[in-house]
Structure 1
Amino acid sequence: MSTSRELLIAFFDCLGDLDNSIDRCVDLFAEDGVFEFPYFSVLGMPTRFQGKTELRQVLGIINAHFSAFTLSEIEVHEVKEGDALFVRYHSDGFIDRSERVYAQDYVSQLIAVDGKIKVLREYLNVINTARMLFPNGLADVPAAAG
């Protein structure tokens, strides 16, 4: 049975080679596991992906823009009760396999149940995301989302 720390390490390993690791990454999650991006709603994007099909879908969307991420400045903080942790880290990835670098700082919560990821919740700078990923940057953020 994997611990939250072991699951985090395995998930980060998958991020280092998304072209070849989506299935392995999805397998880290429970059948009803959730991958959340709570602030994506301000960008007019979905915030919650639950179950293997949706997890594979969102990881495929991420992989369409990035083949891999390099992670650094990793700080892991385990909670006292339950199998969960918070992690702060920095990532860099080449956007659309170009020379443009997407740099992002994250704070994530990982909750494990029965050796699988039950919830992975990622908090990030959505302004940075819009600037780097949307064709017209912040101009593409829906008015209702602002």
Structure 2
Amino acid sequence: MSIATALLQQHLDWLVDDPQQWQQLIADNIVWDLPYAPSLGHPLKLDGRESVLRHAGWFAGAVEDFRFFDAILTATDDPEHAIARVRGEGRIAATGRAYRQEYVIFLTAEDGRIVHLREYFDPVQAALALDAPVVGVPSRSI
């Protein structure tokens, strides 16, 4: 197992279940790209440790009983890069609605820490669970 795949597995194991341990995985200069998050009114990019910790804390508070499962981790030829496809589920605290998602995550490691994450998810599934509009998509009354 490469350093990146090990870090990616630990990221999945600890992000919500053990945030103190998870914080040890991330570099001070971490960047977390969330290309589809702006459609929910969330940032496109989290830049730096404090921004990432704030977002991770928000997620842990917003989604109860969250868990990742069915993870498929893929190592690359470069031991500092790894990819995961993983499912997640929980319950949105504010709405009580189920949250089910499939993620694709790209991780880059440097000096044994996570320096870059790029996470893809379905913003429509998130919007439905959050009872939130999708930014840029007008609502329709039928």
Query: TM over 0.5, yes or no?
Result: yes
Q: Is the 8 A contact 1:15 1:69 kept in 2?
A: no
Structure 1: gaps spanning 5 or more residues: none
Deviations 1:23-59 (A, max 9, x none): 3222211110112211112233202112221111001
1:13 aligned to 2:13? yes
Q: Distance in 1 between matches of 2:114 and 2:27?
A: 6
Q: CA deviation at 1:100?
A: 3.0
Q: Is the 8 A contact 1:67 1:97 kept in 2?
A: no
Q: CA deviation at 1:7?
A: 1.0
Q: Distance in 2 between matches of 1:145 and 1:44?
A: 14
Could you state the TM-score of these two structures normalised by the residue count of structure 2?
0.84
Structure 2: gaps spanning 5 or more residues: none
- Given candidates 30, 39, 42, the residue that maps to 1:42 is 39
Identity %: 27
Alignment root-mean-square deviation, CA: 2.4
Could you state the TM-score of these two structures normalised by the residue count of structure 1?
0.82
Q: Look up the match of 1:92.
A: 89
Q: Which has the larger share of helix? A: 1
Flag as ranges the 4+ runs of structure 1 deviating above 4 A.
none
What are the within-5 Å matches in structure 2 for residues 1-146 of structure 1? 3-17=3-17, 21-96=18-93, 100-133=97-130, 135=131, 137=132, 140-143=133-136
Q: Distance in 2 between matches of 1:23 and 1:49?
A: 19
What secondary structure is seen at the aligned counterpart in 2 of 1:69?
A: strand
What secondary structure is seen at the aligned counterpart in 1 of 2:93?
A: helix
Q: Is the 8 A contact 1:92 1:102 kept in 2?
A: yes
Aligned length: 138
